[in-house]
Structure 1
């Protein structure tokens, strides 16, 4: 069932985005009087379709893209028979270059608009929830495996990032921060300011959602919320109203301190100092082999929750949408230098795992908005067979006054298709290796 939910979300998200992208091409083509022969969500073989006017609308069996076939255009169908005859008024090739340019940008523009609308709606509907800089400075952080690997320590109070202010915890592991040259955190460690450098390529460790849980979190004081019936704490006489002050004489203020102290006493008895009914008392508890005493706790700090009006949401959502493009452009550039590993390239399996195995509409639309902006960016790359390749040749035509020959465009399209197929095979290969080996 988990797999079905992941696949279902991926197919729905891609179908929406591909359909809207191709609709952008179709509407702009029809706007300029071009004949659109086919509109397909998914690649052949066709599994369903109908004819409406001059256009056949269909759904393909391979849900990894889609296409619009416009008369008189050299595209991925490689149907060039019509190019041997004189251009007809309804054909792509007979229209002015500026109209053809708008048609080729139509899908990209729609994806950008879709991404912006999704992010604006999410910001307006849900606002933001985060642990603030003030809470981090007051309580400090818990440094996990990846945080400790770069020199952060539990208890550090992060003052700024790259000398700049930050709003909340989520910004400390954002792509924008991790991809910055010579990035660093300024921390207060026991009253002393220390510069903790972020090593080049550190972003490569964040190749899955679980990796963020191994970086840092905010420290939080706690209170007991539950005592498991028949568990170690109940047997030792601990009540929900009690406050844990120390473990084996080690003072405990934050939950991570309690976890650390109990972990040292696995399968042993631990002396727990309590504040109970206003009095300080002690009891002995048998710590489990998991380093727990069968209790539940609640954090004594709550994340900040901010709401936004429509004008604020427009600004915030738009900035967030274009921020995705900026981060991906930086990552692509650093991939060519080797700083960002090509292992981070994901195919459909990786995308499905990002959606997750639970159906959460907020998460679904967040990821779909993210993918919409990435699709727009990737489609704009000047690779033949992508929209960006067509745009590149059209700009050349508009500047030079000479259109590339149909034969050249046909060969370029073939080269582009080979490149895209190779990238797809590489991405799917990455997915398979990660799935079976954790590579």
Structure 2
């Protein structure tokens, strides 16, 4: 039951996120005297709707976004009526049009930050200033593994301790290869029983090099089979990266830092989407689905259900915050029909007129979008096709956090 509640709640969260994004466009347009014809959550056939004032509100069948139809968004708007003409968007100053097209993006950024701020004050968010490099927590002896979770008793220190490694040392590299995690050190040592390895260590601001020869011990693989492995007797220091903030100022600072990290990660993820399409397609026909594979509303809601089922509300809202940053940055792509595409056209218009002014020429009017319609149609088709592909993958081979 909790899983179903989580699915419904996350789906509602996505719907609210999309609605608020479009509301950012609608209310900023109205603030500048523009006429908003339609406000829709979803695309395709209308499921339900009503009209209030001059605006028709609707919920459509395909939950892959939404739109806000502003009269005169383009100068060649064939549907522009005589009554709407004074309120046409293309007749407004460029800065007002940019504000309107940025309204949804701004709402998503504010919403994403607000969610993180709430998490920081209640459950805690990752501390972006914590030292995540592999650090030694304890120096121990090397012991044979005798069961899945049990080891033989041993005394003294292992090879690392005898070589001079101390608790608190940061392991920078092994055999010259930079380490990003303690797991990388473990893997390198396991593969080198009896073979000396050179550890590069940071201690008190100084770098040291120590040669350590892993002892040969027994370990078990994933299938439960014993094998000979290397061990140097080190235990990593646990990372305490989740910090709860009682002070709203420190919570705001921490949220801003984590927002910057989320934004950077989102930009990288967006750039990788085309390369992930073959993997999504293969997963539909039985291949393993990558954990970092793009998800649709369906897949994200399923994960939301898993998190609520296990009472992981902080992770639930963290995922919702991530969704808001994704929508904000995805919409900044400078191609139509994205918000960034409209902003790019307006900026082009201003640069063009500035150059004309420098040459003593009169400014031209708003850019005619008809030349961009082929790009718009291609991008819209790609978006719809990609959305359908991911929805199918989320149904037949969904991503699962807990197996």
TM-score, normalized by length of structure 1?
Answer: 0.58
**Counterpart for residue 363 of structure 1:** 315
C-alpha displacement of 1:393? 1.1
402-411 or 35-44, which deviates more = 402-411
CA change 1:324–1:397 in 2 (3 A) is same
Within-5 A mapping of 1:5-404: 5-74=5-74, 80-83=77-80, 88-128=85-125, 137-139=136-138, 184-185=179-180, 194=199, 306-308=243-245, 309-334=247-272, 344-359=293-308, 360=311, 361-401=313-353, 402=364, 403-404=366-367
Equivalent-residue separation in structure 2 for 1:85 and 1:407 (angstroms)? 21
- Which structure has more RCO (C-alpha within 8 Å, separation ≥ 6)? 2
CA contact (8 A) 1:159 1:186 kept: no
C-alpha displacement of 1:377? 0.8
State how many pairs are aligned: 306
C-alpha displacement of 1:390? 1.0
Give 3-state SS (helix, strand or coil) of 1:67's partner: strand
> How far does the alpha carbon of each residue in 1:313-352 deviate from its partner, in whole angstroms, 9 at most, with x for none?
11111121221120122234456678x9676222233322
Equivalent-residue separation in structure 1 for 2:394 and 2:94 (angstroms)? 40
CA contact (8 A) 1:140 1:158 kept: no
C-alpha displacement of 1:40? 2.1
- State the superposition RMSD in angstroms: 4.4
**Counterpart for residue 417 of structure 1:** 380
CA change 1:351–1:74 in 2 (3 A) is farther
> How far does the alpha carbon of each residue in 1:40-59 deviate from its partner, in whole angstroms, 9 at most, with x for none?
22334333333322222333
Unpaired runs of at least 5, structure 1: 142-154, 164-181, 196-250, 252-256, 266-300
Equivalent-residue separation in structure 2 for 1:375 and 1:407 (angstroms)? 26
2:384 paired with 1:407: no
C-alpha displacement of 1:19? 1.1
**Counterpart for residue 177 of structure 1:** none
Equivalent-residue separation in structure 2 for 1:86 and 1:57 (angstroms)? 20
C-alpha displacement of 1:374? 0.6
Give 3-state SS (helix, strand or coil) of 1:64's partner: strand
Equivalent-residue separation in structure 1 for 2:117 and 2:77 (angstroms)? 43
Give 3-state SS (helix, strand or coil) of 1:82's partner: coil
CA contact (8 A) 1:109 1:376 kept: yes
C-alpha displacement of 1:81? 2.6
C-alpha displacement of 1:353? 3.2
